[in-house]
Structure 1
Amino acid sequence: MKKSSIQHLLLMFLALLLPYQNLLAQRSSFRLKVKSGLSKAPPYLVKYYNSNQWEKFYAKILKFDYDPKFEYHIKVLKHKNDSHPRYSLMKIISKSLMQNTEVRIWEVGENYVYAPKHEQMKCLQIKSDKSNKWEYLSAPIHGFDYQEGYRYRVRVKKTKRGDTDSFNYSLIDILSKERTNELPSVAAFLARFKWNLLQLNGKDVSSSKASMGFDAKNGTIEGTTGCNIFWGAFHIKGNKITFNHIASTMRSCNTIHIENEFFQIFEQKKIQFDIAEQTLNLYYDGKLVMMFGLERE
C-alpha cells in the first residue's frame, strides 16, 4: 500500500476517534464518603479522598438513592458537557448501616454551665424540639466547634457505645447560629442559683435576708437588701465584676445601715471576685467585702 494511502487511513481513524476523545475529556470521576443521618439531601455531607473535614455537596447525584440510615462510600461521574456540571452515581463502593444510631435536633445554649450531677464545670445546655426544659450534656459533640455567646440549632447523630448505656455524639450540621451575649460561662453558673448575703465588710449579716440573683442571658441582676428591692446590670471580664445602672425601691426600713454599705460596694468599679466552695466572694482593694452563699433549688 502506498504511503499516501496509509496516511489517509490514519487521518480517517483519528477523525472517527476524536468525538470519543472529546467525550472522555468532558467526563471525570471521583470518590466521596457520604454521611448518614441527613433528613434532606442534597445537600449531602461528604468527605473527599484527600479531606478530613465534612463538606456540603449541593448538587444532585443522579441514580443515587440516599437512605439516611446508611453511610456510603461512592464513586461519582462528573459530566462537563454544558455550563452546569451534572453528577451521576457510577458505583457504591460500600454501604454501612448505622446501628444503634438516632438523629436529634437540639438547641444549644450560649454558655457552658456547671452540672453538679456530672461534677463538671463545662457542660453544654441542650434542649430538644419536644421539650421546653434545658438538660446538661457532659459528653463532647465531635466535630462541633462550639463558641460561647452564640445560641445554636444543630442536627446531631447519637450512637450507642456497644452494649453500654453511654453514647457518642457527632455533629451532622449546624442549622442556625445566632449571637446572644458575650458573658463568660461563670455567668451561667451564677445564674443557676439565688445568692444570699452572709458577710458584709467582715460582719455576719446572714439574718438580714439580703440576696441577689443573676440573669446571664440579659446581663442583669435583681435582689433585695432585706428591705428594698434593687435591680441593674452586671459585666464580667476575667476576675473582675462591675455592677451598672443600679436602682432600687425607696422603702424606709430599720436595716438602712446595711443598704448604705451594700450599695457603696456595688458602686465601685474595680471589684474582684472568686467562687470558692459554695460562696461568691467580692474583694475591693484586696479585702473581702462581701460574701454570698448559694441557695440550691
Structure 2
Amino acid sequence: MKKPSTYSSLLLFLTLLLPYQSLLAQSSSFRVKVKSGLQQTPPYLVKYYNSKDWEKFYAEILQFDYDPKFEYDIRIRKRQNGSHSTYTLAKTITKSLSENTAVATWEVGENYVNAQSLGKLKCLQVKSDKRNKWEYLTSTIQGFDYKEGYRYRIRVKQTKQKDTDSVSYSLIEVLSKERANELPSVAAFLARFKWNLLQLNGKDVSSSKASIGFDAKNGTIAGTTGCNNFWGNFAIKDDKISFLNLASTMRACNGLNIENDFFQIFEQKQIQFDIAEQTLNLYNERKLVMIFGLERE
C-alpha cells in the first residue's frame, strides 16, 4: 500500500478541520433598542424585537459610543469563538434625542400617603437630588414595581408632552432597594418633617414656636417648647404613641410659657394619635389636646 504524501496528509487534515472551525468561530447579528439615561454601561437596557419590557444586556458592545441623552436602535454583530462571545456595533439605525425629556434620580419613600388636597388619596413621596425635600407624586411611574416597606433609589425619565404641561414618568433603573426600619411606616413619615405646635388644650399657641422632630431610625425625638430644648425616645403601637426618657434644658422662660401643659401631656404613658393630611393630632382620653402642623421647606 502506497504511503500518503505529506501534502496529501495536510490537505486531509485541513478538510477534516473546517467543520470544527466553523463551530469555533460563528458570526450572527441581531437588532435592539437601547434605552437613554443610563448612568453607567454595561449593563445596557435593551429591547429585542419580541420584548415587552426593557432587559439588561451585560456585555460590552465594541465600537458603540453610548451617549445617555439619546435612545438608539442598533444592529449588533455577535461573534462566537468556543465559549467566548464578543459583541460589536454593526450599524446605528436611529439615534434620537427628545428635547422634552429629562433624567432625574429620586429617593422613593417606603409608604403611600394621602394627598386629598391634590385630589388623590394614595400617592408616592419622592425626593430628588436637586431638591432635598419630600414631594407628593400623583402620577404613576411606568415600569416601576413599587412595594411598600422598601426605600428605593431610582433613575427616572421625565417626558413633557408637546404643547401641554403634562409630564409622564418611566423607570430607567432601580439603583437600590432596601427594607425600611422596623418601626411602623407612620414613624418614617413623621421623621420626614418638622412638626410645629399649633394648638394646645384648644388654644392657639402657634406663636410659641414649639416644635418636635422624629428620628425613625433611632427611635428618638428632639424639639423645643419655645423656651427650652427637649429630647428623648418614642414608641408607636397601633394608634398609641409614648414619649420616653424625656429630658430638657433648664432655662427660665419669659412671656408665653406653655412648658408645664406641654410636658404634662407628653408624660402620659400612652397617648392616642392620628395624622390628617398635614397635622399630627394627640388625644388624652379621647380629647384632642395637641395639634402639630408639618413644616415644608
TM-score (ref. length: structure 2): 0.68
Match of 1:194 in 2: 196
AA in 2 matched with 1:261: Q
Equivalent residues of 2:209, 2:225 under 8 A apart: yes
Tell me which residue corresponds to 2:287. 288
Corresponding residue for residue 56 of structure 2: 56
What percent of counterpart residues are identical? Answer: 46
In the aligned structure 2, how far is the partner of 1:277 from the partner of 1:174? 29
Code of the residue aligned with 1:258 in structure 2: it is D
Q: How many residues of Structure 1 are paired with residues of Structure 2 in the alignment?
A: 275
- Normalising by structure 1, report the TM-score: 0.68
User: Structure 2: which 5+ residue stretches go unaligned?
Assistant: 1-11
Matches within 5 A, 1:1-297: 15=16, 18-19=19-20, 21-22=22-23, 26-92=26-92, 94-95=93-94, 97-108=96-107, 110=109, 118=118, 122-128=123-129, 131=130, 133-134=132-133, 136=135, 138=137, 139-146=139-146, 153-176=153-176, 181=181, 184=185, 187-188=188-189, 191-199=193-201, 204=202, 206=204, 209=208, 211-216=210-215, 219-224=219-224, 229-236=229-236, 238-250=238-250, 258=261, 261-265=264-268, 267-268=269-270, 271-276=271-276, 279-283=279-283, 287-288=286-287, 290-294=289-293
CA RMSD in angstroms, aligned pairs only? 4.3
- 1:8 match: none
Alpha-carbon distance in 1 for matches of 2:186, 2:142: 20
**Letter paired with 2:167:** F
Name the aligned partner's letter for residue 294 of structure 1: G
Separation in 2, partners of 1:22, 1:226: 81
Alpha-carbon distance change, 260 to 46 in structure 1, aligned in 2, over 3 angstroms? closer
How far 1:107 moved relative to its partner?
A: 4.3
SS in 2 for 1:85: strand
Counterparts in 2 of 1:175 and 1:88: CA distance versus 1, 3 Å: same
Tell whether the 8 Å contact from 2:127 to 2:135 is kept in structure 1 after alignment. Answer: yes
Whether the 8 Å contact between 1:157 and 1:170 is mirrored in structure 2 is yes
Of the structure 1 ranges 245-254 and 47-56, higher mean CA displacement relative to structure 2 is found in: 245-254
Do the aligned partners of 2:200 and 2:262 also contact (CA within 8 Å) in 1?
Answer: no
8 Å contact 2:200–2:290 — kept in the other structure? yes
Which 5+ residue runs of structure 1 have no aligned equivalent?
A: 1-10
Give SS of 2:23's match: helix
Shift of 1:251: 6.1
Could you give the per-residue CA deviations for residues 202-227 of structure 1, whole angstroms, max 9, x where no partner exists?
A: xx454695944223555433345577
Indicate if the aligned counterparts of 2:197 and 2:290 stay in contact, CA closer than 8 A: no
- SS of equivalent to 1:41: coil
Amino acid at match of 2:19: L
